[in-house]
Each structure stands twice: as structure tokens, then as C-alpha cells.
Amino acid sequence: MYAHIKAVEALRAVHGQLPVNLKFLLEGEEEVGGESVAEYVAGNQEELRADVALVSDTAMYAEGMPSLCIGLRGLVYMEVEAFGPARDLHSGNYGGAAPNAVYALIELLSKAKNSRGVIQVPGIYDDVEPPAPAEKQSWESLPFDEKEFRKKEVGSKSLTGEPGYSVLERIWARPTFEVHGIAGGFTGAGAKTVIPAKATAKVSIRLVSKQDPDKVIEAFKAFVRKKTPKGVRTEVRVLSAAPAVLVNPDHPAVRTASEAFAAVFGKPTVFIRSGGSIPIVGEFAKHLGIPTVLMGFGLPDDGLHAPNEKFHLEQYYKGIVTVAHFFEQYGQ
Amino acid sequence: MYAHIKAVEALRAVHGQLPVNLKFLLEGEEEVGGESVAEYVAGNQEELRADVALVSDTAMYAEGMPSLCIGLRGLVYMEVEAFGPARDLHSGNYGGAAPNAVYALIELLSKAKNSRGVIQVPGIYDDVEPPAPAEKQSWESLPFDEKEFRKKEVGSKSLTGEPGYSVLERIWARPTFEVHGIAGGFTGAGAKTVIPAKATAKVSIRLVSKQDPDKVIEAFKAFVRKKTPKGVRTEVRVLSAAPAVLVNPDHPAVRTASEAFAAVFGKPTVFIRSGGSIPIVGEFAKHLGIPTVLMGFGLPDDGLHAPNEKFHLEQYYKGIVTVAHFFEQYGQ
């Protein structure tokens, strides 16, 4: 945001006026749902009319490597709750005959993905399209060290995920099913032999290409209904839903941004994707009918949302110049 | 305990002396592990020498139906912990490539039992022996209403458990695997897209007949090692372990107790089991080499450990007389 204002100031100082018309839209709620801005965009289409949106909420692939993000995964986030006996029961008196809500939820969720990481919800891959061969090929030329990724970033003995897909493809262009949290029964210190009456899990499905959030939600709900174990009742609550976003790299605005990046950083711009979601980009496409240029200046080691998060000053200054270049060239 | 002291007072008042020698052993720690009393029994075998132990910690099968418990299930209680990435990761950036500790634990535990309730830990049923035909037959004559049990006691749409076994057999004479609690990842209100680094579950296996707790623990640990998903590390911690207990109904003390019950309640005594565990009974057998008479006066609707727990006064008074009868007749 500051970089964009500084770019505007610089352009005004040099040219006395701006090469493009600008509308600033501030979103201060994204990390806690971002519902207000979605509503605002839907309700103020005329006021917000534009040729293109510019969002700086992504990172460059590596330091010194100008990169434009042209794909974001979508996200469907849900809560699954299982109800077994009417109240917690003593497992000595009822174990062997009473349903266990925690175990039922375990059984149910274990069926959502097979041991190789392939999602088992029927129809889930129907609208998944592979990235174009040229895009896939360009990913292969990116400097990606799988061993370093595993050891330094993930910190586990091995990586997981669908066989037959590279790590970048699995993260950027494949849907995933994750359980983000689970709770139920007795979890204090020591031993308590309850058969839990209730259990809850937070789950999400990341979406790619043409997967429709509503269709995916229905498919998951049908899956839960069908796989709910005997004696147990389940409920699914949807907490958020947003489709994947793909930006056409041949769009004039994206081409211009790519050239601005290359000019400032002195290297050809690479097109990358992100496995995360920026829901507002989908809202712009849906309600304003415009593409979004994802021009981000973060670096992979910024430590987003983590202790000691940082933003490199050089990225800030180069960001100002890149944004100014982009406005100037796009105005022509 | 009060009933036993009252019985002693009554016998002293009538006969001037006791018909048997008595040693009282007080255990005030059973609900929180009971480790001290187990140590005490192991270390004071000479002082505790006796022909038989009398424990009143069970219930009658129904009001007005004199019952002696001659079987208790054993219990192995464990904690299973799974470790995935080095820290919680963002599922947008790593989903599709990083192991998820919560999902790994779900996958692992889901394999411990099949959908019909049959435990899948290899060797787990090796030392399980069915109850004698006569005992099984006597269970069938007990007043057991499966529908009422399901609706009033369990409160679920249907019961679960191994096919081919009656409810009483599943609860009294079959091993079970239960997950008592599970926790991991984000479980607060709303949505957070973490790939959890850690997850924990409390699990138990109820033991019957000749199942050896140590052998069962080893079998479960081997199962966990073998089924731990790729990229994840697991640990199993044992919190408690006690074998099942079977009392020979033909032992003179049990026969005498049965006659005392029948005399006071005016009906033949039925032999039942309990699906719960009373670890001290196993310690008596192991360290003192003596059987235990499980002479309990509770009623099924006492609401053990629940709000408004009660103990019926009539059971208390009849209990005093039954204990006195037992001492008197066993002394002869």
C-alpha cells in the first residue's frame, strides 16, 4: 500500500499528473474472513468500475527473481461434527456396544483421502484441468531444491502428496483435503475411560482451475452422509468458500506488469502460482468482470504470520519503482 | 466399607467374637490410578496373607436380583502422539506436499478397527477364550432389553460392535479398542488453515480372559510402528495396564457368598460379569495368590461418577446382613 502511494507521489512529481485513473480499495479484514469487502464489491459495481485490479499480496519466487503470480487456489472451509451416545459413557460399562463419536469421525475422515494423498470424494477431480504444457515446463526451470524445501521449510522426514506430480504442481495446481484441527472426548492429563458423545473437526478443500465451490461442498456433504458410521449423526457447516483464480498471462495489463518487473529487477519475469487463496480476486472477477494483476514483492523467507515477520527494504524501494513503471506503461 | 464394619459389629454383638480373621485394606486412590496400593500389596505379601479377598465395588444386575460378579475386563490405557512438520504450516503454501500430523493420526487410528468393530491389531485375539457355554447360557436368561438399553442408557440410533456376539457378551467378554479423546491443530472458533505439526489421542484396549497386558502393549506398539504414515513420527506412552480377572464360581468362598446373597435377597444368585476394571483384584491374584469375591450392592441406575449419584438405603442394610452371613458361613 505504502509502495503504491509512493509510486503515485513519484509519478505526480515527474509528470504533474497520473498516467492512469486510480481507485484505492482498502481491505483490513482479510485475515478474519473479509466478508465486508466482498459485500461492498458486490454492491458498488458502478463505483468500482475499472479495467484491471492490482493486488500486492503475493511473494516473488526468490530474491532477485522478478515474478508475477497468475494462479491462486480456491478454498472451501468446513466444520464436521459427529454425535454418538446422548452423553459421555463409561467405556467399561458400554465399550463394545455404544458408538464412539471420536472414532466415528476418525473413520469418516480417514476415508476422504487414500494413503497416497488422492481425495476420495466422488466427483472431486471432475473440473480439475492440468496447467498448460508451457506453464508446467516453465515451473521445471525454476530453482526448486526439494531436499532443502523438505528440511528447512517443512521439517519432516519426507514429503507427501499425490504421486506423479511435482511438488510445485501439487502445491499450486492440485486440490487438497486437509484436517486443520480435531477435538473430542477427554484430552487432559492422565487417563479417563469415556466413550465420547461428540467430536468436531475443521477441514478444507483447496480448489484449482474450474472447480465450483458449491459443487464441491455438495459433493463433500454427500460423501459425509454416505460414510457416516452406524449409530452416529453428523453435521457439516460451511465457514467459507471461494473459487480458484487464474489470470491470463497474455492480458495487456499482465504483460505490462511483467515488463515493469523485468525492467526494474534486470531479469526476465517468471510466471508462478500460489497455493493460497486471495478471495477478493474472485470477487473482482465475478462482480466487476476484471482480471487482477498479482504484483507482490514479498520474499519466501519473510515468515508470514510467524514471529519475526519481516519485509526487506530493498523490496520496498524496488516495489515503488515497479509500480510506477507499471502505471506509466499501462497508461500509454 | 461402612456395611462391612456394621457386619463386624453385628457379629461381635451376637457371638462375642468374629467367625473369621479380617484384614482391612483401604484404597483411596483408585479413581486417579491407584499406584500406591499396588506397590503396597506387592511389598507386603506376608502381612496381607489371606485365604480370600472381599471387594465391594460392583453392582447387582437388577434391583432384587442377588448377583455376584465373577469376571472383570482388564485395561491397557495409552497415549498416541503424532509429529508431522517441524511447526504448524500454512496449508496454502504447503498443502499437497507436507505431512499433516492430525490426518496421519486419523489414518493410523482408523486402521485399528474395521467398520464392524473387529480390532485389526495382529494377534490381539490370540488369548481370548469364549465364556463357558453354561455361563453364556445363564446370561441369556438375564432380563436384558436391548431396545431400552440403547434408548435409555446409550441414547443413540443404533448399537455398534462385533457381529455374532450378544450385547452382554460384547461388553463383558470381548476386547475393545476405544479412542477416548483426540486433540490437535486449530480447534477454536472460525477458520485457520494450518497443517498441524502435532496431534495426540488417548486410546485403550479392554482385555478379557488370558490376554496379557504386556503382550497387547507390544502388539499395539508394533501396529503403530507399521501403520504410521509416511513423513510422520509417532510415540506410544502407556498410562496403565491391568489384566482381566475371572473368579472361579466353584471356589468355596464364591459359593458361600452366593448362598449368603440368596438367603438375604430370597432368590437364587446369578453370576454376572462387568466390562469395567478393578486393578487391585489382579494385584491380589498376582502377589497374594488369592481369589477375590466381588460382592457389590450397587444398582444399575446409581449413576456412578455422574451428577446425583445415589446409593439405595435398602441395599445398604441388606448389604450389611449379606456380608455378616458370608463371614459367618465362611468361618464354618
Distance from C-alpha of B283 to C-alpha of A195, rounded to nearest angstrom: 26
Contacts of B72 (CB under 8 A, 6+ apart): B244, B245, B273, B274, B276, B277, B278, B281, B294
A247 contacts A71 by C-beta, under 8 angstroms: yes
* pLDDT band with cut points at 50, 70 and 90 for residue B303: confident
Tell whether the model's pLDDT for residue A269 goes beyond 90. Answer: yes
Residue B46, SS3 per DSSP: coil
Q: Among residues 72-111 of chain B, which lie with CB inside 8 Å of chain A?
A: 73, 75, 77, 84-87, 89-100, 102-103, 106-107, 109-111
Alpha helices in chain A (DSSP H): 2-15, 35-43, 91-94, 101-110, 133-140, 146-148, 167-172, 213-227, 252-265, 279-283, 313-331
**What pLDDT was estimated at residue A149?**
94
Would you call B157 an interface residue with chain A, using a CB distance cutoff of 8 Å?
Answer: yes
pLDDT at B33 over 70: no
Give residue A128's pLDDT band: very low, low, confident or very high (50, 70, 90).
very high
**What percent of chain A is predicted at pLDDT more than 90?**
86
Using the Cβ of A239 and the Cβ atoms of chain B, whether some distance falls under 8 Å is answered with yes
Confidence bin at A291 (pLDDT 50/70/90): very high
Cβ contacts (< 8 Å) between B183 and chain A: which residues? Answer: 182-183, 187
Provide the grid cell at B178.
Answer: 476405544
Backbone Cα Rg of chain A: 23
Mean pLDDT in chain A?
94
Between CA A46 and CA A169 the distance in angstroms is: 38
Q: Are A25 and A48 in contact (CB under 8 A)?
A: yes
Whether the CB of A176 is below 8 Å from some CB of chain B: the reply is: yes
Residue A305 CB coordination number (10 Å): 11
Between CA A312 and CA A320, with CA A315 as vertex, the angle to 5 degrees is: 135
Average pLDDT over residues A32-56: 91
Q: How far apart are CA B130 and CA B50, in angstroms?
A: 30
Query: Which CA distances in Å does A58 have to A72, A140, A209, A330, B207?
Result: 10, 20, 19, 21, 55
- Backbone phi, psi, residue B327, to 5°: -60, -45
pLDDT in the model for residue B215:
98
Do B64 and B70 form a contact (C-beta atoms < 8 A)? no
Least Cα distance to A61 among A249, A270, A233 occurs for A270
Q: Is the pLDDT of residue A54 over 90?
A: yes
Q: Averaged over B314-327, what is the pLDDT? A: 96
Separation CA A263–CA B328 (nearest Å): 104
Fill in the DSSP letter of residue B284. I
Q: pLDDT tier at B78 (50, 70, 90 boundaries)?
A: very high
Among A294-308, A309-323, B242-256, the range scoring the smallest mean pLDDT is A294-308
Minimal C-alpha gap between A20 and chain B (Å): 33
B287-309 mean pLDDT = 88
For residue A96, give the nearest of B161, B186, B274 by CB distance. Answer: B161
How far, in Å, CA of B240 to CA of B191, rounded? 37
- Quote the cell numbers at residue A173: 495446481
Query: How many other C-beta atoms are found inside a 10 Å radius of the C-beta of residue B156?
Result: 23
Tens-digit pLDDT profile for residues A55-71? 999 999 999 999 999 99
Tell me the C-alpha distance between A209 and A174, whole Å: 9
Q: What is the mean pLDDT of residues B144-158?
A: 94
List the single residue in B with minimal CA-CA distance to A160: B97
**Among B208, B203, B127, B202, residue whose Cα is nearest residue B175:** B208
Is the pLDDT assigned to residue B307 strictly greater than 90? no
How many percent of chain A have pLDDT more than 70? 99
Residues 6+ apart with CB under 8 A from A15: none
Q: What is the pLDDT of residue B207?
A: 97
Mapping DSSP to helix (H, G, I), strand (E, B) and coil, where does residue A239 land? strand
Whether B213 and chain A come into contact, CB under 8 Å, resolves to: no
Let me know if B46 is exposed, middle or buried by CB neighbors in 10 A (0-12, 13-18, 19+). exposed
pLDDT for the residue B304:
76
A33, A178, A305 member nearest B195 (Cβ):
A178
Segment 253-292 of chain A within 8 Å of chain B by CB: 274-277
Phi and psi based region of residue B92 (left: phi greater than 0; alpha: psi -120 to 50; beta: remaining): alpha
Listed residue (A264, A271, A246) closest to A68, CA to CA? A271
Domains of chain A: 2-72+244-331 (3.40.630.10), 74-128+175-242 (3.30.70.360)
Cβ separation A179–B100 shorter than 8 A = yes
Q: What's the confidence (pLDDT) of residue A158?
A: 95
- Hey, is the C-beta of B164 within 8 angstroms of any chain A C-beta? no
CA angle, corner A219, sides to A218 and A220, nearest 5? 90
Q: Cα B280 to the chain's mean position, in Å?
A: 12
Report the run of H or E that residue A204 belongs to, with start and end: strand A198-207
The pair phi, psi for residue B331, each rounded to 5°, is -65, -30
> What is the average per-residue pLDDT within A274-288?
92
Q: Give me the pLDDT at residue A307, please.
A: 76
What average pLDDT score do residues A120-137 get?
A: 94
With a cut of 90, say whether residue B68 has pLDDT above it. yes
Residues of B in contact with A296 (CB under 8 A): none
Alpha carbon distances (Å) from B329 to A233, B248, B297: 53, 19, 19
Contact at CB, B187 and A185, closer than 8 angstroms: no
* All three cell numbers of B316: 445398604
Closest CA to A228 of B6, B299, B158: B158
pLDDT at B118: 97
Q: Are B216 and B244 in contact (CB under 8 A)?
A: no
CB A271 within 8 A of CB A248: no
Neighbouring CB atoms inside 10 A of A57's CB total 18
Partners of B192 on chain A (C-beta within 8 Å) are 180-181, 202
pLDDT confidence of residue B105: 98
pLDDT at residue number B301: 84
Chain-centroid distance of CA A73 in Å reads 5
What is this structure's pTM? 0.92
| pLDDT at position A33 | 66
